[in-house]
């Protein structure tokens, strides 16, 4: 019966599964149920389906409208996509040919300037931190040298490192630029060290430290001059400048002594016994004795520290004798000149002996260093000098005998 209903309703057309199930359901119902309740059940199912459709359309109408619009745009986008795909396929073919051409042209990377430049840029990028540190070296040199004298050693060590870099990379413009700026800092450091050697109250320990730093700095600044020959001369010049400045501070006393001397020359019967001259000469000799002994003694220590021979051990055939070998003569001339000029203005015998005693002590001090100039005073015509030396030698002999008896 169900097949007959399907043939009747389908009119020869295929029936879907839902229709087939419903026809089978109808075939299994009694006729009374079909006449009475089936119509009502169909009405309720239709109403329920309508309500479901209305609720779904209320909730999803925006998405449905948007989907409908998107589907409508596919009519235009799909052909455009097809066109772009065709263009991309042609461009890929062209790109492939260009890649093959590039690969052929740069097959020898060592002969290609572009590749070499790119490698150089990559190396610079990899070493950016090192290059930054290298560019900060001149500033670091200046700062370490200005912190304290203890920073001088670190400054010279850092400068030595820069010199090694300059020897390793002589064609690097950056390294050569940093090296030139570092040389300016080292030159400033050497200037500060030389000014340190001019300090009025320079001690031996500070002298040896400063000379050691100069020994490391000068060969870098003046390669043609050996440090062993230059530094002693620089030291003597610095100390001589300090001595000259100290003696120049006695200029007011010297002017008074000069006025007194000229007054005695104009008026031989003048009552002045040379008090101002005595004060000037005593102060002059005192300053000279203190500084000259320190200059010569520290110069010997500087020569020893630099590995030079002492003046007594020098070869007489050496073409350039040590500066210290001739410097004491110049020092003595500085002392003898004011004595020769101003001592005649001192008329008092006790005052003259006091001044010459100071000179004797000064000659003894330098004599312990091998620079006794007593004979020069005897040759200069200072009459009482010989008698004064004899008396002091006699007293010294008696003192030694007394000390020997006591022992």
- Polymer length of the chain: 407
Distance CA 229, CA 306 (A): 9
Alpha-carbon distance of 39 to 26, in angstroms, equals 12
Q: What pLDDT is recorded for position 55?
A: 84
Structure confidence by residue, pLDDT tens digits, 234-263: 889 999 999 999 999 999 999 999 988 888
Nearest to 192 by CA among 160, 125, 154, 145: 145
Q: How far apart are CA 255 and CA 262, in angstroms?
A: 10
pLDDT tens per residue across span 184-214: 888 888 888 888 899 888 888 888 888 888 8
CA-based nearest residue to 275, from 294, 289, 256: 256
Distances (CA, A) of 18 to 7, 14, 28, 295: 15, 12, 16, 127
More confident residue, 289 or 154: 289
- For residue 162, pLDDT over 50 is answered with yes
Determine the Cα–Cα distance for residues 272 and 264; give it in Å rounded to an integer: 7
The Cα 279–Cα 265 span in angstroms is 19
CB burial of 70-82 (b: ≥16 within 10 Å; e: otherwise) equals eeeeeeeeeeeee
User: Which tokens sit at 139?
Assistant: 């500033």
Per-residue pLDDT, 380: 58
- How high is the pLDDT of residue 396? 65
* Distance, CA of 74 to CA of 81 (rounded, Å): 10
Look at residues 164, 189, 191 and name the one whose alpha carbon lies nearest to residue 178.
Answer: 164
How confident is the model at residue 6, as a pLDDT? Answer: 57
Domain boundaries, the chain: 1-58, 125-196, 224-406
Q: How far apart are CA 357 and CA 396, in angstroms?
A: 14
Lowest mean pLDDT among 25-29, 128-132, 173-177: 25-29
- The pLDDT, as a whole number, for residue 99 is 84
Torsion of CA 323, 329, 331, 333, to 10 degrees: -150
Minimum mean pLDDT range among 83-87, 138-142, 246-250, 318-322: 318-322
CA distance 10 to 4: 10
Confidence of residue 29 (pLDDT cuts 50, 70, 90): confident
Confidence at residue 314, expressed as pLDDT on a 0 to 100 scale: 45
Which pLDDT score, from 0 to 100, does residue 270 have?
A: 61
**pLDDT, tens digit, 9 for 90 and up, residues 117-133:** 888 888 888 888 888 88
The per-residue pLDDT for 397 is 66
First to last CA, the chain: 163
* pLDDT beyond 70 at 387: yes
Buried b (16+ CB within 10 A) or exposed e, 346-360: bbeeebbbebbebbb
Question: What is the model's pTM?
Answer: 0.62
- Residue 61 — pLDDT band, cuts 50, 70, 90? confident
176 compared with 21, residue with greater pLDDT? 176
319-346 residue pLDDT tens: 455 677 788 888 888 988 898 888 888 8
Closest by CA to 183, choosing from 135, 145, 141, is 141
At 311, is the pLDDT very low, low, confident or very high (cuts 50, 70, 90)?
Answer: very low
Cα separation of 374 and 339, whole Å?
13
Residues 6+ apart with CB under 8 A from 245: none
Q: Which of 167, 175, 162, 169 is CA-nearest to residue 131?
A: 175
pLDDT beyond 80 at 85: yes
| pLDDT of 351 above 60 | yes
Over the chain, what is the mean pLDDT? 79
Dist. CA 241–CA 197, nearest whole Å? 10
Answer for the pair 371, 325: CB distance below 8 angstroms, yes or no. no
């Amino acid at each position: 019966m169900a097949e007959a209903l399907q043939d009747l309703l389908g009119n020869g057309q295929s029936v879907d599964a839902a229709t087939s199930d419903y026809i089978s359901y109808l075939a299994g119902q009694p006729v009374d149920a079909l006449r009475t309740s089936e119509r009502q059940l169909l009405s309720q199912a239709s109403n329920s389906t309508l309500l479901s459709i209305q609720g779904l359309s209320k909730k999803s109408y925006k998405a449905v409208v948007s989907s409908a619009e998107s589907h409508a745009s596919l009519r235009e986008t799909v052909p455009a996509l097809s066109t772009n795909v065709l263009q991309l396929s042609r461009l890929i073919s062209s790109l492939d040919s260009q890649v093959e051409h590039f690969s052929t042209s740069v097959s020898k990377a060592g002969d290609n300037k572009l590749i070499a430049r790119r490698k150089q840029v990559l190396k610079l990028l990899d070493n950016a931190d090192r290059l930054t540190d290298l560019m900060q070296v001149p500033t670091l040199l200046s700062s370490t040298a200005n912190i304290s004298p203890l920073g001088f050693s670190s400054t010279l060590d850092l400068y030595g490192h820069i010199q090694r870099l300059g020897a390793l990379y002589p064609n690097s413009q950056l390294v050569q630029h940093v090296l030139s700026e570092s040389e300016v800092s080292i030159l400033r450091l050497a200037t500060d060290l030389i000014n340190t050697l001019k300090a009025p109250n320079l001690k031996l320990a500070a002298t040896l430290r400063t000379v050691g730093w100069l020994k490391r700095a000068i060969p870098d600044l003046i390669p043609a001059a050996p440090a062993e020959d230059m530094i002693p001369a620089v030291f003597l010049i610095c100390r001589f400048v300090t001595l000259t400045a100290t003696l120049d501070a006695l200029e007011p006393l010297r002017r008074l002594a000069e006025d007194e001397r000229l007054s005695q020359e104009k008026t031989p019967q003048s009552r002045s016994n040379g008090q101002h001259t005595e004060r000037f000469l005593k102060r002059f000799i005192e300053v000279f004795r203190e500084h000259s002994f320190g200059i010569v003694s520290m110069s010997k220590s500087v020569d020893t520290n630099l590995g030079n021979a002492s003046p007594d051990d020098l070869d007489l055939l050496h073409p350039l004798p040590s500066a210290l070998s001739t410097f004491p003569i110049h020092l003595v001339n500085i002392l003898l000149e004011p004595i020769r000029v101003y001592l005649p203005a001192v008329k008092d015998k006790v005052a003259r002996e006091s001044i010459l005693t100071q000179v004797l002590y000064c000659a003894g001090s330098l004599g312990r260093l091998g620079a006794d100039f007593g004979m020069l005073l005897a040759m200069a015509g200072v009459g009482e000098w010989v008698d004064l030396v004899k008396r002091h030698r006699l007293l010294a002999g008696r003192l030694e005998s007394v000390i020997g008896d006591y022992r």
